[in-house]
């Protein structure tokens, strides 16, 4: 297509590309934030854990607490 309609078509394609890139970036950031929030909430809910991935066994936690 040539002329004004050809230019409009290319401009519309560019708009769609930019909008898609922007939307994907936002979705990825929100997904990362949600993942961090879930980790933070899980860590807070676990008894005595400062980092939920490095939990001590129950016996170890009580042994150090009563020492």
pLDDT at position 25, please? Answer: 96
Assess contact for 43 and 49: CB atoms under 8 A: yes
Separation between Cα atoms, residue 28 and residue 25, nearest integer Å: 5
| C-alpha pair distances (Å), 20 with each of 10, 14, 23, 50, 60 | 15, 10, 5, 39, 51
> Along the 67 residues of the chain, how does pLDDT read in single tens digits?
566 767 788 889 999 999 999 999 999 999 999 999 988 887 777 765 666 566 656 666 566 655 4
Separation between Cα atoms, residue 61 and residue 29, nearest integer Å: 36
């Amino acid at each position: 297509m040539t002329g004004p309609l050809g230019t409009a078509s290319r401009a519309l394609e560019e708009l769609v590309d930019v909008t898609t890139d922007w939307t994907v970036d936002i979705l990825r950031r929100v997904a990362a934030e949600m993942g961090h929030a879930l980790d933070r909430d899980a860590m807070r809910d676990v008894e005595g854990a400062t980092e939920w991935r490095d939990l001590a066994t129950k016996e170890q936690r009580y042994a150090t607490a009563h020492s």
